[in-house]
Amino acid sequence: MWHSRDTEADQRLHTLLSGTALESLSHYASETYLYSRKHGLTERWLTLFDELPAIAASSIDLATQVRIGQADDCTVEQRQALETAARTFMPWRKGPWSLFGIDIDTEWRSDMKWDRLLPHIQPLAGRRVLDVGCGNGYHCYRMLGEGADMVLGVDPHPAYFFQYRLMQHFLRHLSVFVLPITLDKFPDKSGLFDTVFSMGVLYHRRSPIDHLFQLQSCLREGGELVLESLVVDGPDGYALMPDDRYCQMKNVWFLPSVATTESWLKRCGFRDVRTVDVNATDSSEQRSTSWMPFQSLSDGLDPHNPALSIEGLPAPKRAITLATAPQKRN
């Protein structure tokens, strides 16, 4: 049986967090914790790791994409077994990934978002990075590709955690770690990270201000917050709260204007607040694929007017806002 707590990566995470405010977090990657979640597929998914073929990647690219190995690193039979395992963890939402010649065409072209934000953020080389709501860890690997010293991602969904584990099975030597938890598990004022990313999370929080304070508590003094979230047009102070669903999503609470987003950050004490990109989401970036064959963006838009959601609200628009953490108060 595969024991997550015995892997090289988990031991290294424990060592890195030892003696810090986050020391208690490393046990959330353990098999005991996974079973405590009572997800019906945990046993099946754990067993899959015992059956993965042993393949050594001849090369890895995390700087321009996430590519692990080449097609000729493995036999046809090994690649078929690997693809069968990968499809067991569907749906794949964040990517794309290239795994020994298997192209995992995910719902989101997450590389497009990465290309938009990368020119604006502080260089990640040598930094400790936290990615909140990281999904399967795609952006975590891109962060490491930019030279980050260590990247920790958190996302509570078990399927995304096992997608990460599939990749990490072949990348055990890398300091990328994903834990299947929410930010609520973090202790207050941990202050361990140089850069904190929160992308696609704020509008899912019933209390967005509390979320911003949580993000701030994870940053060292002068650390950088990278906040990416849905926005709507409107003046400072304006925020849209859907009556029920937004683009068929059930858990959307507040869609602020860009000015309101910046005001929230300033009210929380962040400095140097600036929005560096606003982009309307379209089907070139988010769509159904054979790796995510369910409803996607097009199903959430008005078929007669793509400028509106199917509920008659403004279609998705996303902003990237950067901010600097304030000096810590005693």
Q: Is 199 annotated as a binding residue?
A: yes
Q: Is 94 annotated as a binding residue?
A: yes
Q: Is 113 annotated as a binding residue?
A: yes
Give counts: helices (H), strands (E), the chain: 9, 17
The residue written with tokens 């962060």 in the block is 143
| 54-67: burial string, b at 16+ Cβ within 10 Å, e else | ebeeeebebeeebb
Whether 232 contacts 257, CB under 8 Å: yes
Q: Is 203 annotated as a binding residue?
A: yes
CA dist 233 and 16 (Å) reads 43
Closest C-alpha to 151, from 137, 160, 161, 140: 140
**Alpha-carbon torsion (312, 313, 314, 318), positive or negative:** negative
Assign 158 to helix, strand or coil. Answer: helix
Q: Is 183 annotated as a binding residue?
A: yes
Q: Is 287 annotated as a binding residue?
A: no
How many other CB atoms sit within 10 Å of the CB of residue 15?
10
CA angle, corner 137, sides to 321 and 66, nearest 5? 100
Q: Is 318 annotated as a binding residue?
A: yes
Binding residues: 94, 108, 113, 133, 183-184, 199, 203, 318
Positions at the binding site for carboxy-S-adenosyl-L-methionine: 94, 108, 113, 133, 183-184, 199, 203, 318
